[in-house]
Chains A and B, each alone.
Chain A
Amino acid sequence: MKNTFSRRGLLTTLGAAAAGVLSFAAARKAKAAIKTVFVRTNAPKDYNPYDHKWLMCFDVDKCIGCGLCVDACKKENHVPEGPTYFRNWIERYIIKKPKPGSDAARGEVIVDSPNGGRDGFPPTTIPREEILKSFFVPKLCNLCEHSPCTQVCPVGATFDSPDGAVLVDPNYCIGCGFCIQACPYGCRFLNPETKTAEKCTLCYHRITRGLKPACVEICPTEARIFGDLKHPVENDPIQNFIQKNKVNSLKPHLGTDPRVLYANLDKEVR
């Protein structure tokens, strides 16, 4: 009889231990939830993320592929050197004419982005008479309303800030790479030095202090338009841009609802 009780006692103890671990987890979870909003974002203390809603727009026709934005981003954010780490990059699209006798509207599509476009683009080897049209497309984090990257993070180290930025806490990220796999736009990479996920923060340390992101600041053709939807200025460039252009986003069928909008986007851009 005594032994039967001891087995029951053992099970009770195990159950209690499990309950203890679970409630500990709940407490830590609550703490983490608070942390995601207030801690480790490089923002000044008086910055209220609920008081802003940032938006980034591109006019594809204005981009000349100079690569200054890529260079500025690398320098401003200490992005690791090397051709495989970019918070923003530029793609060159060359759409060839259809082959003679073909009934297609357009020919082969050739895309490249040597060193992310940082050094500009070398002249193409495709003969001029074969090219139907060519254009540049700047890319960065699409600031998804329903971001698949933050959804899959196992610890909540990457999160949607209320102001629309999608951020990563490098002191919390475990470096599993799940968010990098989940991003449909290839905007994330694993930093080889910190071994954590990294991405465009919209230069969070700048925008929270009233400055523009480095790439917007340096763009010589004003192909990048950046602004705060909650604080429109007089003759607001963002509002004008949306009013005057028919805008589109990348991979809209995935339901991520990006808040990076493009004007004059070709259907070949993915």
Chain B
Amino acid sequence: MALDVTNVVVEALPRFEGYVYPNESGTHPLWGFLIVLYPYITGLVAGAFIMASLVRVFRVKPLEPVYRLSLLTALAFMLCATLPLLFHLGHPERSFQIMITPHLTSPMAIFGFVYAWYLMAVLLLELWFDYREDFVVWSQKTSGIPGIIYRAFTLGVTDISEKAIALDLKLGWIISIVGIPSAFLLHGYVGFIFGSIKANPWWGNVLMPIIFILSAMVSGIALCVFNYMFLTWVRRRKLDMRCLDVMGMYLFYALVIDFTVEALDWIHRVYSAEEGFHVIEYMAKEKLFYTLSIGQVLVGTLIPLVLLGSLQIIRKYVSDAARKRIYFTCASCILVGVFAMRWNVVMGGQFFSKSLRGVMSYKLEFAGAEGWLMGLVLLSLPFIILTVMIKLFLSERLPTTGHVPHRVDDAVSEI
């Protein structure tokens, strides 16, 4: 038996360089591909919501064409945000304990409540107040299963008088205002789950929640650009170039701030060069070279930064067709880059031993609970849900009512 065990050690050894604690030397990192997806999806939710808030709270009128699409995107991804976590648990059937017996000093426990608050009190309520009038009108016009769905979603509240609509708009506006800090809290908290781990010099960092929030905004806006362009292409409609330009502008600003803070984080790490810096340096140069230097920095940050930055200066000299291509390229690059960033955070933190004396290798498998096939399925799920939602709630056959969110001021003053 002892010989068998020793053989296993010998076989396992090439995966490591230096010394790792015995309990860290398993064949897979404890947190695998699923945990990479979790902050990625949650970030897209927060970012897409902030995008919608630009219309509702900050009254950025050119973005109206993507307002509802952004909110639906946020909801579709929100519904899937906890799935990777759930599938990863050793005992998923006990997951409800997080909600009913939460341990209040745990970032993960509080995340359960932040998630529930955001889904129930912000996203669903805001969408309901936003859509209520439409549901009432559509349920009268439509028959069959969609009609039943619209009728069910009115929740029996069928009053669409001027006063009632004004109240809807007012409440939606209030929820949206509450929603912005909630979105920050949601993703900041995900950052805190990693940032609070002082045992790990790659994670334990006070800037982590801020970096997560900023990268979430960048990825969320990029996803909205992607979805808007894709949907318009599928429907063979004309893109609203003004809307696209403004989205590109906000994407650029968010990217500049995100890049600045992430650069600040690295400058601080390099300058202070605390214990464990030699491992971090090795990770960045060797283990994570492709995902960090190429994926996150070059593809996800520098290329979009240069392209979008140039467009801010020479936009009027660039044709619509070229701008469309640039926006689509940038959005895709950023979505890849932010995914690489999540990978670097989650996996990077597990590629070195907490003894700070060794590093590990990991090859992503195809099948299995932590394989990339499973990841692909989980990442496709929100898009499938979003497609159904778009069919139901952004249908071209059912025009929406004229009550656009930015007119809330008029509505509020009428009450």
Chain A 116-150 near chain B by CB (<8 Å), digits 1 or 0: 10110000000000000000000100000000100
Nearest residue (CB) in A for B23 is A189
Question: Which residues of chain B are within 8 angstroms of A172 by Cβ–Cβ distance?
Answer: 94, 97
Contact B101 A28, beta carbon cutoff 8 Å: yes
Contact B102 A29, beta carbon cutoff 8 Å: yes
From 104 to 161 in chain B, residues with beta carbon under 8 angstroms from any chain A beta carbon are 104-109, 112, 120, 155-159
Chain A 3-15 near chain B by CB (<8 Å), digits 1 or 0: 1101100100000
Nearest residue (CB) in B for A189 is B23
From 48 to 106 in chain A, residues with beta carbon under 8 angstroms from any chain B beta carbon are 81-86, 89, 91
Contact A119 B2, beta carbon cutoff 8 Å: yes
From 213 to 266 in chain B, residues with beta carbon under 8 angstroms from any chain A beta carbon are none
B377 part of interface (Cβ distance < 8 Å)? no
**A247 CA / B105 CA spacing, docked (Å):** 31
A155 part of interface (Cβ distance < 8 Å)? yes
Question: Which residues of chain B are within 8 angstroms of A183 by Cβ–Cβ distance?
Answer: 199, 354
Nearest residue (CB) in A for B200 is A181
**A112 CA / B350 CA spacing, docked (Å):** 19
Chain B 28-42 near chain A by CB (<8 Å), digits 1 or 0: 001100000000000
Known: A10-B155, A119-B6, A270-B357. A155 touches B25 (CB 8 A): no
Known: A4-B159, A82-B8, A152-B197. A270 touches B355 (CB 8 A): yes
Shortest Cβ distance from residue B139 to the other chain A in the assembled complex, whole angstroms: 14
Shortest Cβ distance from residue B13 to the other chain A in the assembled complex, whole angstroms: 9
A188 part of interface (Cβ distance < 8 Å)? yes
A107 part of interface (Cβ distance < 8 Å)? no
Question: Which residues of chain B are within 8 angstroms of A91 by Cβ–Cβ distance?
Answer: 19
Question: Which residues of chain A are within 8 angstroms of B313 by Cβ–Cβ distance?
Answer: none
Question: Which residues of chain B are within 8 angstroms of A173 by Cβ–Cβ distance?
Answer: 90-91, 94
**A118 CA / B73 CA spacing, docked (Å):** 54
B321 part of interface (Cβ distance < 8 Å)? no
**A207 CA / B141 CA spacing, docked (Å):** 74
Q: Which of B9, B105, B158 contacts A115 (CB 8 A)?
A: B9
Contact B91 A174, beta carbon cutoff 8 Å: yes
The tally of CB-CB contacts under 8 A between chains A and B is: 182
A195 part of interface (Cβ distance < 8 Å)? yes
From 167 to 215 in chain B, residues with beta carbon under 8 angstroms from any chain A beta carbon are 167, 193, 196-200
Nearest residue (CB) in A for B357 is A111
Contact B9 A114, beta carbon cutoff 8 Å: yes
**A154 CA / B199 CA spacing, docked (Å):** 17
B356 part of interface (Cβ distance < 8 Å)? yes
B345 part of interface (Cβ distance < 8 Å)? no
B98 part of interface (Cβ distance < 8 Å)? yes
From B19, B92, B155, B356, residue with most partner A Cβ within 10 Å: B19
**A177 CA / B35 CA spacing, docked (Å):** 11
Known: A83-B12, A112-B19. A174 touches B89 (CB 8 A): yes
Contact A174 B19, beta carbon cutoff 8 Å: no
From B19, B23, B26, B349, residue with most partner A Cβ within 10 Å: B23
Question: Which residues of chain A are within 8 angstroms of B2 by Cβ–Cβ distance?
Answer: 115, 118-119
Contact B98 A152, beta carbon cutoff 8 Å: no
Contact A155 B97, beta carbon cutoff 8 Å: yes
Contact A196 B90, beta carbon cutoff 8 Å: yes
B88 part of interface (Cβ distance < 8 Å)? yes
Known: A10-B157, A85-B23, A86-B22. A151 touches B106 (CB 8 A): yes
Since A4-B163, A175-B89, A176-B108 are in contact, a sample of 5 more A-B pairs with Cβ atoms closer than 8 Å, ordered by chain A residue number, is A10-B155, A84-B26, A86-B22, A173-B94, A181-B349
Q: List 29 A-B contacts (CB under 8 A).
A: A4-B167, A7-B164, A10-B155, A29-B101, A82-B8, A83-B25, A84-B25, A111-B355, A112-B19, A115-B9, A115-B22, A118-B5, A148-B199, A155-B102, A172-B97, A173-B90, A175-B91, A176-B89, A180-B30, A182-B199, A184-B354, A185-B354, A186-B353, A186-B355, A187-B23, A189-B26, A196-B90, A196-B91, A254-B199
